[in-house]
Structure 1
Amino acid sequence: MERQFLAAVCFSALIAIWSRVNAAAIPNSCPLPPQLKAKYDFDWKLKNGEKQNLIAKVAYLKLVLSWSPTYCESLSATARNKQFQCRNSDSFGLIVHGLWPQAAKPAAINDHPRNCQDDKQLNATLVKRFYCMMPDEYLMQAEWEKHGSCHYATANDYFTTIEKFYKSLNIPNIRSMKNSTQANIRRAFLQMAQF
């Protein structure tokens, strides 16, 4: 528990450093799909190479972000048209991929806590509430079951915690960059952290 507290303090310190002027705000609203997907449940047993780890101790939490435009560009046209965030690519920038409980010294990815609970499909109200930060029903379901269920009692607790971390970030204005490569985005974050 002491390690979790220390990790939370370190994460809070990073957030405080990142929270500076000249940053783009996190959007409070975004377009929602006219209708959610009918089925977006996640079953790790159907995923090739996916494992369950119920015994790994959580040492810290890792907030994982994704730049939506680059993700969308990486998809084929057919796959892109199936992703709501890609059809509305001007509406989504830096989004949450997940909040991952992490083990202290893993030798491999499957040494982290993962796939702790198979849960029913998230309800539509919860999905819509957090859609702006995580714009895909299946992603939300998978991240809850694969990662969140290993540390949080409920999906609502998991997504509320993510929202708190996400909204406390001030993001560099990535859209105004002439060349928004991974290296340039990382550099922009580091420049914001300089005193």
Structure 2
Amino acid sequence: MRLVSFSKIFGVLAVALGLAAPFAAAEVPLDGSFVAGQNCSAFQSIKKQSNPVPLNAGTSYQIVAGNKEPASHFLILVPGASPERRWAPVDCGTRSGGAPMGEGNTSAQKPGKQAPSGGQPTQNVLAVSWQPAFCETKPDKVECRTQTVDRFDASNFTLHGLWPQPRRMAYCNVGKSDIGNDKDGRWDQLPEISLEPPTRAELDKVMPGTQSQLERHEWTKHGTCYSQTPEEYFGEALALMRALNGSAVRELFASRVGQQLTFDEIRKAFDQSFGEGAGLRVRMQCARNNGKLIISELTIGLSGDITPETSLANLMAAATPTKTECPGGLVDAVGQQ
């Protein structure tokens, strides 16, 4: 993907964990300083040159990495920016100090080598719901009143959202009126989301909350910090959902409807589908309903550049491990229990 948020400043780290996925280095560690020239800006995304931060001419910025060898951009630290890590074009200033590019950077990963587990900060979180459990606590929602046992969301994970990290990355270039409407739950007052017909059709199936304008909320709060267009944001989120719903994780949930499921079992299913250690990037939330603990949501940590073709296994392997909030619960069935 080509994005707007901190969640995209790193490329895909394809870690060979279990699935022996190929490694694609997109960040070459460097040291030294970058002295900005006139009219220099640094960006969160190289591809889109998004969210520019002006650099002060003559000011020295610490270099963290290059994007390749030889580098076209330096990853620098810009004090006061959020996030501080930004990409600056190498020809917009001068580098001083540090080892020459290609030398002295022994920590750089080479193709075919395993990257350290969790070597990147988590850049995006994919939040998915088990819709029957959500509807136990929100039965008056339109999408819950219309839910049936043969609808997609009765036995598949549904899309809650794709959230750039850190969580304070929200409402990018959104006006105060829209922010107020969103925070107050007046999602029907938010701008309509324009999508290509195939994307809209798939989104309505995988995100039943579109019946309550959930897509307007997710784009306003999170998508605006991820991409320039809703089509790209939702298209790439849907690609991740296809991978998840085509996995052993979805099969496990569907086979255990009405039964208890432990997080250890879920973690093993993630490892089976997406490589050893994938389950360490998953957090599970549960809700209490009529005295029972029901599994309501999974949040999945991702790092790397997301495109419709990106491997979910690689994105998970590159993210930071997390801890679950719930050790296990009931896989809820459609209807009030």
Verify the 8 A CA contact 1:172 1:189 in the aligned structure 2. Answer: no
| Structure 1: runs of 5 or more not aligned | 18-54, 104-108
Q: Following the alignment from structure 2 to structure 1, what is the Cα–Cα distance between the partners of residues 259 and 146?
A: 17
Larger Rg: 2
* Structure 1 residue 131 corresponds to structure 2 residue 214: no
Query: Which residue type is aligned with residue 175 of structure 1?
Result: A
Within 5 A, what are the aligned runs for 1:23-172? 56-57=82-83, 60-76=123-139, 79-80=140-141, 82-83=142-143, 86-91=146-151, 92=153, 93-103=156-166, 112-116=168-172, 117=174, 118=178, 120-123=191-194, 125=197, 126-137=199-210, 138-169=213-244, 170=247, 171-172=249-250
Aligned with 1:175 (options 254, 257, 270): 254
| Structure 2: runs of 5 or more not aligned | 21-80, 86-120, 179-189, 277-337
The offset of 1:61, in angstroms, is 0.7
The offset of 1:176, in angstroms, is 1.6
TM-score when normalising by structure 2 = 0.36
TM-score when normalising by structure 1 = 0.59
Verify the 8 A CA contact 1:127 1:140 in the aligned structure 2. Answer: no
2:268 aligns to what?
191
1:24 aligns to what?
none
The offset of 1:155, in angstroms, is 0.3
Q: % of aligned pairs identical? A: 22
Q: Following the alignment from structure 1 to structure 2, what is the Cα–Cα distance between the partners of residues 185 and 5?
A: 35
The offset of 1:185, in angstroms, is 5.9
Higher strand proportion: 2
Q: Following the alignment from structure 2 to structure 1, what is the Cα–Cα distance between the partners of residues 16 and 192?
A: 35
> What's the secondary structure of 2:170's corresponding residue?
coil
> What's the secondary structure of 2:238's corresponding residue?
helix
Q: Structure 1's 6 and 99: CA in aligned 2 closer, same or farther, altered over 3 A? A: same
The offset of 1:88, in angstroms, is 2.5
The offset of 1:83, in angstroms, is 1.9
Verify the 8 A CA contact 1:69 1:86 in the aligned structure 2. Answer: no
Number of residue pairs the alignment of both structures matches: 144
The offset of 1:132, in angstroms, is 1.9
